[in-house]
Amino acid sequence: MKQLLEGSAAIAEMVKLCRVQVVSAYPITPQTHIVEQLARTISGGELQAEYVNVESEFSAASVVLGASAAGARAYTATTSQGLLLMAEVLFNMAGLRLPVVLTCANRGVSAPITIWNDHQDAMTVRDSGWLQLFAADNQEAVDLHLLAFRLAETLRLPVMVCVDGFILTHAWEPVNLPSQAAVDAFLAPSAPIALLDPARPATLGALAEPDSYMEHRNRLFEAVEGSMQTMERLQQDFERQFGRRHGPTAGYRVDDADVAVVAMGSLNGTIEEAVDSLRDDGQRVGSLKVVSFRPFPAAELRRDLGTVRRVVVLEKAVSMGSGGILSAEIRNALYELPSRPMVKSHVVGLGGRDVTVRDVREMVLSTREDAPLFFGLRQPTAVEVS
């Protein structure tokens, strides 16, 4: 049954249904509503779990690392500055192969400080070994959390579910929340392994000398890259049980398109509206949503974009000194095709700048190859100039 819920509340409810055993988090806008609801759920006795209030994100990440190593199903949420402060722990957690799930309520990074949405936070830790899934709406956000716990525990890899800050976390949408029985049928009620167990003493976090470090890193690389197969299998399971599917990519009116607009996260709702309006004008335009950024769906992109002439990437993060990050990876994937579409990148929506249907239409219709990377920059105001 559908319920009208705030995105954060829906996510917290799903995390509860996933029977997490340890939650540790540090407040940061716009993640707070998620963890505040979990705190209420636990103090109200609705969920038997430990809620650990810590003094920084560094400690939040470290607490869930320890809890997961001890065998508990562990969860945290953060964004922006908090995610960056966790960075050292995130790389460590992936290397230790701990199945933690983290919600990133995506937000831009400082300076200048912003509390509003873009993807710079998550993209900055893309090389850490975490799987990264981007939700386009709140149903997808909720479903991806359930999938994330199953993926994490199946693969023994940490999974980050990226949810656009405010745009999704604070939006009220009708969401289908599965029953506890349905969740239990998809996700075993407790985490499968305790690495730290006196019955089987094991050393975690050993020193690797030059003769073994590369092999360890290669094993992590293969695990993350190879996770696409597991993702495919679990997506099928999920679809069979719940009738919904979430990627790794999803096309919209793209099969016969000349131009494909590609993006991650909530931008896709706006893009699909723009596609409809462009189709009404007789343009052969479609779109493709990238749900899984890690593992990167290179084969899927070659399949989905192999026949279009032009790919327009709308991205909410930038690599300073290089350019768009998503577009660079898409170009990399498409390079293997015998005939390759043009790929044009537009950096949009940084720090919460609105992206409208009209903006998307303009980016699709403009064929200027030398258009500036940042779309829609404004002139300085009088106060700024003075």
Ligand X SMILES: Cc1ncc(C[n+]2csc(CCOP(=O)(O)OP(=O)(O)O)c2C)c(N)n1
Interface positions with ligand X (CB under 6 A)? 26-28, 57, 81-82, 85
Q: Which is nearer to ligand X, 108 or 248 (CB)?
A: 108
- The verdict on 39 binding another protein (CB under 8 A) reads yes
How near is the Cβ of 115 to another protein at its closest, in Å? 8
How near is the Cβ of 315 to ligand X at its closest, in Å? 24
Matching residue, tokens 């992936």: 94
Q: What does the alpha-carbon distance between residue 156 and residue 99 come to, in Å, rounded to a whole number?
A: 5
Q: What does the alpha-carbon distance between residue 243 and residue 105 come to, in Å, rounded to a whole number?
A: 26
Q: Which is nearer to another protein, 40 or 244 (CB)?
A: 40
- The verdict on 43 binding another protein (CB under 8 A) reads yes
Listed in sequence order, the residues at least 6 apart from 211 whose beta carbon sits closer than 8 Å to its beta carbon are: none
- The verdict on 40 binding another protein (CB under 8 A) reads yes
Q: Which is nearer to ligand X, 55 or 211 (CB)?
A: 55
How near is the Cβ of 87 to ligand X at its closest, in Å? 11
How near is the Cβ of 356 to another protein at its closest, in Å? 23
Q: Which is nearer to ligand X, 113 or 185 (CB)?
A: 113
- The verdict on 36 binding another protein (CB under 8 A) reads yes
- The verdict on 124 binding another protein (CB under 8 A) reads no
Cis peptide before 185 (omega within 30 of 0): no
**Binding residue for another protein, selected from 1, 199, 320, 383, defined by CB under 8 A:** 383
- The verdict on 320 binding another protein (CB under 8 A) reads no
- The verdict on 35 binding another protein (CB under 8 A) reads yes
∠ Cα 134 137 143 (to 5°): 70
- The verdict on 173 binding another protein (CB under 8 A) reads no
Q: What does the alpha-carbon distance between residue 105 and residue 269 come to, in Å, rounded to a whole number?
A: 18
Burial class (CB in 10 A: 0-12, 13-18, 19+), 44: exposed
Q: Which does 92 bind (CB under 5 to 8 A by kind): ligand X, another protein, none?
A: none
> Alpha carbon of 157 to those of 77, 95, 323, 352, 366: distances in Å?
16, 9, 29, 31, 41
Q: Are 4 and 173 in contact (CB under 8 A)?
A: yes
- The verdict on 154 binding another protein (CB under 8 A) reads no
Helix axes 325-334, 298-305, angle to 10 degrees: 70
How near is the Cβ of 83 to another protein at its closest, in Å? 13
> Alpha carbon of 187 to those of 10, 20, 73, 180: distances in Å?
18, 11, 11, 10
Q: Which is nearer to ligand X, 124 or 283 (CB)?
A: 124
Q: Which does 111 bind (CB under 5 to 8 A by kind): ligand X, another protein, none?
A: another protein
What six digits make up the tokens of 360? Answer: 């998307």
How near is the Cβ of 113 to another protein at its closest, in Å? 7
How near is the Cβ of 89 to ligand X at its closest, in Å? 13
DSSP-derived 3-state class of residue 274: helix
> Alpha carbon of 146 to those of 1, 78, 280: distances in Å?
17, 18, 37
Binding mask 44-73 for another protein (x = CB under 8 A): xx-----x-x-xx-----------------
Beta strands in the chain (DSSP E): 2-6, 22-25, 50-53, 74-78, 101-106, 131-134, 159-164, 172-176, 249-252, 259-263, 285-290, 292-294, 310-315, 318-319, 323-324, 342-347
> Alpha carbon of 353 to those of 86, 116, 266, 315, 316: distances in Å?
26, 8, 13, 12, 10
DSSP-derived 3-state class of residue 198: coil
Q: Which is nearer to another protein, 80 or 235 (CB)?
A: 80
Q: Which does 55 bind (CB under 5 to 8 A by kind): another protein, ligand X, none?
A: another protein
Q: Which is nearer to ligand X, 59 or 230 (CB)?
A: 59
How near is the Cβ of 60 to another protein at its closest, in Å? 11
Give contact residues for another protein (rule: CB under 8 A).
26-29, 32, 35-36, 39-40, 42-45, 51, 53, 55-56, 81, 85, 110-113, 381, 383-384
